[in-house]
Amino acid sequence: MTLDPDPVDTETTSGTPSVGDDAARRAAAALVAGLPPSAAVWCSGVRKRYGRRPAVQDVSLEVGRGEVVGLLGPNGAGKTTVIKMLLGLTHPDAGEVMLLGRPATDPAARARVGYLPELFRYQPWLSASEVLALHARLAGSGVPTQQQLDCLALVGLAERARDRVGGFSKGMQQRLGLAVALVAKPELVILDEPTSALDPLGRADVRDIVLDLKSRGVAVLLNSHLIGEVERVCDRVVILGRCNGHSRSGTGPRCPGHRSARRRACRISLEDRLLGILRADQGDDR
């Protein structure tokens, strides 16, 4: 957890700062400066039930600053629900969540997070650049217009900046969603199946964008069913299994390989590990 230096009250009850208060403040600031930064996102023992059906059961995970973590699991395992709880969009029935060192519901933390939802729809009457400008304003950050246009260019929509999003194809809408997630220069980016509608070129663009985020120290949580994609960019994976309607989490192998041989070895183990978990969950002992 990070400590905020500014709420410290330097005044005594008489309204005059005291020497003792000043020394205490300096000592506290030195203590905070020596602490490692809080995780980009952290949760412990989160659970969620919809009616009588458990959607997420006891999931704990952490994404460190500058780390790229993959979130894998079968359909219905609870990946999107976990993401929504991490972002404070869905209230967990139990467990704790911290976002950039603050409670997930704190607007100050959420303003520093970029999020590409699994399912979304922008106002169809707005142009792509208007959608981006709106979200830059919602994030509360003064993003210069040129930076917004650069962001559209990054996702391959420079030519369509003035077009209404109601006329966009599925893949173009997903590209715009990615631009929205990136426009306010977030410290943490959460992508829920960012490439499900993208062509191979778009998928390669997303891979490059994630690697660029990582090189700039931005943390990324990536939910994707494309194991090759996850393997290429992620430092670590978390696997949510489905076990009689319960989800469980586990840490997969590290995938640091930049050399093709290591990458291939890594893919085999990651795929095998994932298939092993999925088959075990379904009582299939192939």
Name residue 17's beta-bridge partners: 11
Binding to ligand ATP by residue 195, rule CB under 6 A? no
Name the one range near ligand ATP by CB under 6 A: 79-87, 150-158, 197-205, 270-278. Answer: 79-87
Least gap, CB of 90 to Mg ion (angstroms): 12
* Beta carbon of residue 205, minimum distance to Mg ion (angstroms, whole number): 22
Q: Residue 76, interface with ligand ATP (CB under 6 A)?
A: yes
Output phi, psi for 32, to 5 deg: -65, -40
Q: Give the residue among 165, 231, 222, 235 at the shortest CA–CA distance from 195.
A: 222
Stretch that binds ligand ATP, among 74-82, 93-101, 139-147, 199-207 (CB under 6 A): 74-82
Pairwise CA distance, residues 132 & 181, whole Å: 9
Question: Which member of 79, 135, 214, 236 binds ligand ATP (CB under 6 A)?
Answer: 79
Cβ atoms of 254 and 269 closer than 8 Å: no
Binders of Mg ion in range 98-127 (CB under 5 A): 118
* C-alpha closest to that of 83 among 52, 51, 61, 50: 61
CB of 79 to ligand ATP, least distance (A): 4
Q: How far is CA 250 from CA 40, 49, 60, in A?
A: 19, 20, 9
Contacts of 70 (CB under 8 A, 6+ apart): 222, 223, 224, 230, 231, 233, 234, 236, 237, 238, 252
Q: Convert 110-129 to b/e letters by CB count within 10 Å (16 or more is b).
A: bebbbbbbeeeebeeeeebb
Q: Report, in Å, the least distance between residue 118 CB and Mg ion.
A: 5
Using only C-alpha atoms, the chain has a radius of gyration, in whole angstroms, of 21
Q: Say how far apart CA 38 and CA 185 lie, in whole Å.
A: 19
CB 156 within 8 A of CB 202: yes
Q: Rank residues 77 and 198 by Cβ distance to ligand ATP and give the closer one.
A: 77
**Sole binder of ligand ATP in the list 81, 148, 224, 249 (CB under 6 A):** 81
Nearer to ligand ATP, 86 or 183 (CB): 86
Binding of residue 66 to ligand ATP (CB under 6 A): no
Residue with smaller CB distance to ligand ATP, 48 or 110? 48
Give the residue ranges of DSSP H helices in 140-283.
145-154, 170-182, 200-215, 227-233, 260-281
By CB under 6 A, tell whether 80 contacts ligand ATP: yes
117 binds ligand ATP (CB under 6 A): no
When asked if residue 55 is in the footprint of ligand ATP (CB under 6 A), the reply is: yes
Residue closer to ligand ATP by CB (options 148, 247) is 247
For ligand ATP, the closer CB: 59 or 209: 59
Q: Where does this chain bind Mg ion (CB under 5 A)? A: 79-80, 118
Q: Where does this chain bind ligand ATP (CB under 6 A)? A: 50, 53, 55, 73, 75-81, 118
